Structure 1
Amino acid sequence: MTVKTNVATSEDSNDPTLNDTVTTISLTFTEKIEPKTITDAIKLYRIDKNGNAVEEPSIIKIDAADPMVIQINNKAMSPLTQGETYQLTISRDLQSKSGDSLASEFVGYFATNYQLNLAGNMDLNNERTQIHIISDIHLGIDDAYTSTVANRQPLVDYLDQLNASPNVKELVIAGDFLDFWMLPMDYTMPATQSAFYDAVAANNKTVVDAINRIIQSGAIKVTYTPGNHDLLATDADLARIFPGINQARDSMQGLGTYVTGTNSEIVIEHGHRYDFFSAPDPISNRDITQNGTSILPSAYFYARIGTSSIAEGFPKTTNTFPELKVDKTDASQLNIYRYAQVWKALLTNIPINESYADATITTNIDGFTQTYAVNDILPHQNEDGTLGMNLYQDIENTWDERQTINGVKVNIPVSDAITKSADTAFIDSQAQTQIFDTDPTKRIVVFGHTHHARITAMSNAANQKTIYANSGTWSDHATGNPTMNFVVISPPKADSDIEIVNLYQYATDKTVTQWAEGQAITNP
């Protein structure tokens, strides 16, 4: 005799299968069941915080319409409590009418997911435990160019609902918050960087006010970590605009990692430190800017060019990318060539009216004062046949040092860093390489940066299940991906052993949809 359940289960107690609402557990056997053998043969247990199986008082009966089906409900005939791990056992004492039994005892583990309700979830006992993570909001200085306009009011609505929720403990804003990149090449910058960020705040006053209401209420801890699009925003800038906000910053400007959770098992960062084109660059160009703090990575200039292309309607262009020759036996030269090919692929998709040779990119930021041409960023052929660059000269040889300065734990080979920079899966994989593989105490990692909202199971050096999530974006458009996403982490309740991670999408009508299947870990 064999059995199938309507609830997804796992044989591994450390990896229970996460199910949404579970009210009735149906066991379908291949033979008619003998009612007299049900007693003590089928048990449902809840797993407590110490891993002990505590029997769940249940009603277990044969389905009146089908003698091959057994149904299990709790005594209240209500859905099983959310945020719990359960163990289902069926012993060989259970027999069919013909006297058959299971070949071996059935033991299955499953967990019950939370149904998100920003107005409050009764199974959370009116306690503040949940952590919400948002990223890549991209609030800009000018609505003619910013990538978040239509989604700004829904963001305010979400934040206001969050502020009123009785279950939210933390809100983490994981970078690319106040955007200084998405501007056309000829945009006139404010006189100072602080003036720039004040202007961004003024242009997005409704969002700023909503976040400040949360901070001022004092019930929810609000934390900010830097992203690449706001890597010049200083501690003072954020503190001035959002008094009382917590900031998780590294010693290197433009980077930060926030560690939270009951046992510091959760790591949240933007993810750009692993991106060759977007990580802070404290080495290149300082001889040009003549200051000791310049960190703008080359992707900043890509964003400026791209914004011009959008503003110009992706025009037909006479610009061409130079054909470069390279000595492939020279590793450094080959990496410059790879860098050039990435730029060629990028620029193909963002045509502009302006000539690559003309100085059209205004700066007045991060120590840069000149107006640059696109060709200043691109590799070119020197008279002696070698490849060189005006800006970011020698970037291919300083990547290892740059990683050390930026706190990258596991060195990423420069060839991979260049050629895989646009691969979202490569950035996602750094959660495994840089965090789970190096620190077995970390069980959950959340990045932003890629705008590709997702959630997946990984593992750590101790062979424990871990969870990686990407919080997506709130930009108006995310080609091929959803927008208005957020991640929710629900730590274990007082007498539970399970921590749950979910990914959601917000809608303009203020409703929330689960975007991907949730994941759970035990004993975090």
Structure 2
Amino acid sequence: MKSSKYFSLTCLKIANKLLGVYTSRCDDAQEMTVESNILMSDSLENPPVNDIVQTITLKFNQALDPATLADAIELYRIDQHGNAVKEACCVKIDRMDATVIQINNQEITRFAQGEAYQLVIKDTLGSKTKGALGCDYVGYFATNVDFNFAGNSELNNERTQIIIASDFHLGVDDSFAELQKNKKALVAFLNQVKNSPDVKELVIGGDLLDEWFLPMDYQMPDSEAAFFDQVAANNQAIVEAFNAIINAGEIKVTYVPGNHDLLLTADDVKRIFPGINQARDDLQGLGSYVTGPNSEIVIEHGHKYNFFCTPDPLSNRNITNNNTSILPPGYFFTRIATTCVVEGHPQSNNVFAEMIPNKDDESQFNAYLYYQTWKAILSTLPVKEGFDDKVLKTNIDGFTENYAINDCIPQQEKETGIIDMTLYQHIQDTWEERQAINGIAVKIPTSEAITKAAVDEFTDIQAQTQYFDLDPSKRIVVFGHTHVADVIPMTNCENKKTIYANSGTWIDNGQGYPTRTFVVITPAKADSAIETVNLYQYLPDQTIVQWTEGQALHI
């Protein structure tokens, strides 16, 4: 299902035969090529998106015979049932260049937005020197839907669009919170969302209130509820902006849990954001939201598949004496990472012990891989504190002690060579069970889960593995978590095009990636055949810019 601006007409005859437009005269056709100013493909299943189409320009490699132009070009719009409906169009050969054809709609205006089109070049079109093509050519393309907060007149002020934004990381203290400079922009963004006549839903894809990005010496209050109330108070303008959207009642606002707000309960969310919809699984800290006209869209944070970030209801209950304890190890290395940032990435005198891996014992080798991951993280994020110093304050999720960094890092006994750890003891052996508890459909091998946890693309590919390969009804999947905003076309188990999007983040420092990003999904208009997915960046001047090429699905 290729898309291109350059086509060899005779090379496409096999594909065109599959589409039912092949004629026997193709075998005798002289080779003619054509270059288009817009993206087209040979399949309706993969109509490439063009942001603005006003004039379709086709440049052939041979001068055309004007006498053969009549009725040789046909334009069709694809309706919601997949039928090709003929559209009136204006076709002419360029006065200055006989190799060029220009095609416009009848009004000679911009093509309608959010539509799929079929362009047919009939076999009667010929050149001055080599005669008729002898073969029909069919190309498909789609037109994108403009997004702006003032409204798109082609959507008739109907609320259809879905905005997904995630990873706001609202912090409890602006001396170390990741969202500070972008606070004003976020309030402005939410105010514009509230006033948009086209927006039907706003989905918060996790990591809204941040309970992880805290220095090691941060003293938690006596209750989780008190902590989250403090976060809300520190971000009052943002909370009020969300609540204004909820209270207006015209846009459905949905919250999906992330790992940084893993312990944020349904009651906490109701208290801070009254009237908000929540998409939660049975286990605290997980949830996915299904929406769209045909329930074709799934939105979740994406931490579910991460060894270090998905809930861990197994490892530490003998330490916490808490049957609901679920904090995974990512919580502790985030506390250490925050300290590194607060301390200005200091020089460290800490030394990592060399370990000898036991490749003959799967459990022990996975423990070694787990150690290597910790080593890589702490080598990049050094702290002043010694590894044996009891500097990690807890008072959270059943943890009450102060821990040393070495309580988190696996240790190897010199005499036996056994690798073990104080916190998350035997975590490498419970991954299979943890996946079952957390509802991961396609199990990820332990070694792969450990070594690829920090690889952004590993999270992205879970959209393919956990959704598109299993359920053909799910055509669009949106994650957050990685902070790497993108829109990626994929293919499902029925060989139909699907779309994965990552909503990115709103924190101040995108670590080399864009920040203040959000995804917009526009379901098909009435009698239209395509649904579009676009990624935007919100700018400090309260305008938006499209960040990547949009994608469209033939529904």
Q: Shorter-chain-normalised TM-score: which range?
A: over 0.9
Secondary structure of the corresponding residue to residue 438 of structure 1: coil
Residue pairs, 1:23-422, within 5 angstroms: 23-98=54-129, 100-382=131-413, 384-422=416-454
Task: Find the aligned partners of 1:34 and 1:352 in 2 and give their Cα distance.
Answer: 75
User: How many Å apart are 1:493 and its aligned residue?
Assistant: 0.7
Residue in structure 2 matched with residue 473 of structure 1 by the alignment = 505
Tell me if structure 1 keeps the 8 A contact 2:124–2:134: no
User: How many Å apart are 1:74 and its aligned residue?
Assistant: 1.3
Secondary structure of the corresponding residue to residue 288 of structure 1: helix
1:508 equivalent in alignment to 2:508: no
Task: Find the aligned partners of 2:436 and 2:488 in 1 and give their Cα distance.
Answer: 28
Residue in structure 2 matched with residue 488 of structure 1 by the alignment = 520
State percent identity of aligned pairs: 58
Task: Find the aligned partners of 2:195 and 2:56 in 1 and give their Cα distance.
Answer: 35
Secondary structure of the corresponding residue to residue 501 of structure 2: strand
Q: Which amino acid aligns with 2:212?
A: W
Task: Find the aligned partners of 2:350 and 2:338 in 1 and give their Cα distance.
Answer: 17
User: How many Å apart are 1:103 and its aligned residue?
Assistant: 4.4
Q: Which amino acid aligns with 2:488?
A: T
Q: Deviations over 1:226-280 (max 9, x none)?
A: 0000010000001110111000000010000001111111111001010000000
Residue pairs, 1:423-502, within 5 angstroms: 423-502=455-534
Task: Find the aligned partners of 2:458 and 2:199 in 1 and give their Cα distance.
Answer: 32
User: How many Å apart are 1:124 and its aligned residue?
Assistant: 1.3
Tell me if structure 2 keeps the 8 A contact 1:326–1:386: no
Name the TM-score, length of structure 2 as normaliser.
0.93
Task: Find the aligned partners of 2:530 and 2:59 in 1 and give their Cα distance.
Answer: 28
Residue in structure 2 matched with residue 522 of structure 1 by the alignment = 554
Secondary structure of the corresponding residue to residue 222 of structure 1: strand
Task: Find the aligned partners of 2:407 and 2:248 in 1 and give their Cα distance.
Answer: 49
Q: Which amino acid aligns with 1:361?
A: L
Task: Find the aligned partners of 2:444 and 2:70 in 1 and give their Cα distance.
Answer: 59
Task: Find the aligned partners of 1:25 and 1:318 in 2 and give their Cα distance.
Answer: 65
Secondary structure of the corresponding residue to residue 396 of structure 1: helix
Task: Find the aligned partners of 1:114 and 1:75 in 2 and give their Cα distance.
Answer: 20
Moved more, 66-75 or 340-349: 66-75
Residue in structure 1 matched with residue 25 of structure 2 by the alignment = none
Q: Which amino acid aligns with 1:464?
A: K
Task: Find the aligned partners of 2:61 and 2:407 in 1 and give their Cα distance.
Answer: 73
User: How many Å apart are 1:385 and its aligned residue?
Assistant: 2.6
Q: Which amino acid aligns with 1:88?
A: L
Moved more, 412-421 or 73-82: 73-82
Secondary structure of the corresponding residue to residue 157 of structure 1: helix
Residue in structure 1 matched with residue 19 of structure 2 by the alignment = none
User: How many Å apart are 1:30 and its aligned residue?
Assistant: 2.6
Task: Find the aligned partners of 1:363 and 1:422 in 2 and give their Cα distance.
Answer: 24
C-alpha change, 1:326 and 1:71, in structure 2 (3 Å) is: closer
Q: Which amino acid aligns with 1:35?
A: P
Q: Deviations over 1:100-158 (max 9, x none)?
A: 22242111000001122111111212111111100111000000111011111111111
Q: Give the CA RMSD over aligned residues.
A: 1.1
Secondary structure of the corresponding residue to residue 166 of structure 1: coil
Q: Which amino acid aligns with 1:279?
A: T
Q: Which amino acid aligns with 2:231?
A: V
Q: Which amino acid aligns with 2:263?
A: L
Task: Find the aligned partners of 1:391 and 1:102 in 2 and give their Cα distance.
Answer: 73
Secondary structure of the corresponding residue to residue 316 of structure 1: coil
Q: Deviations over 1:466-514 (max 9, x none)?
A: 1111111101012121111101111111110101111111110111111
Secondary structure of the corresponding residue to residue 228 of structure 1: coil
User: How many Å apart are 1:456 and its aligned residue?
Assistant: 0.8
Task: Find the aligned partners of 1:46 and 1:155 in 2 and give their Cα distance.
Answer: 39
Q: Deviations over 1:373-425 (max 9, x none)?
A: 10110101235331111000010000000000000001100000001111111
User: How many Å apart are 1:191 and its aligned residue?
Assistant: 1.6
Tell me if structure 2 keeps the 8 A contact 1:359–1:373: yes
Tell me if structure 1 keeps the 8 A contact 2:151–2:198: yes
Q: Which amino acid aligns with 2:87?
A: E
User: How many Å apart are 1:20 and its aligned residue?
Assistant: 1.1
User: How many Å apart are 1:454 and its aligned residue?
Assistant: 1.1
Q: Deviations over 1:2-56 (max 9, x none)?
A: 3222111100011111111000011212333333332221111110001111111
Tell me if structure 2 keeps the 8 A contact 1:2–1:102: no
Q: List runs of 5+ in structure 2 lacking aligned partners.
A: 1-31
Secondary structure of the corresponding residue to residue 187 of structure 2: helix
Q: Deviations over 1:315-373 (max 9, x none)?
A: 11111112223322111111111000000000001111111101001111111111111
User: How many Å apart are 1:67 and its aligned residue?
Assistant: 2.4
Tell me if structure 2 keeps the 8 A contact 1:87–1:107: yes
Tell me if structure 2 keeps the 8 A contact 1:455–1:516: yes
Q: Deviations over 1:438-484 (max 9, x none)?
A: 11111110110111111111111111111111111101012121111
C-alpha change, 1:107 and 1:191, in structure 2 (3 Å) is: same
Task: Find the aligned partners of 1:218 and 1:58 in 2 and give their Cα distance.
Answer: 43
Task: Find the aligned partners of 2:218 and 2:285 in 1 and give their Cα distance.
Answer: 23
Task: Find the aligned partners of 1:474 and 1:458 in 2 and give their Cα distance.
Answer: 26
Moved more, 48-57 or 400-409: 48-57
User: How many Å apart are 1:189 and its aligned residue?
Assistant: 1.0
Task: Find the aligned partners of 1:31 and 1:418 in 2 and give their Cα distance.
Answer: 58
Tell me if structure 2 keeps the 8 A contact 1:83–1:498: yes
May I ask how many residue pairs the two structures share in their alignment? Answer: 523
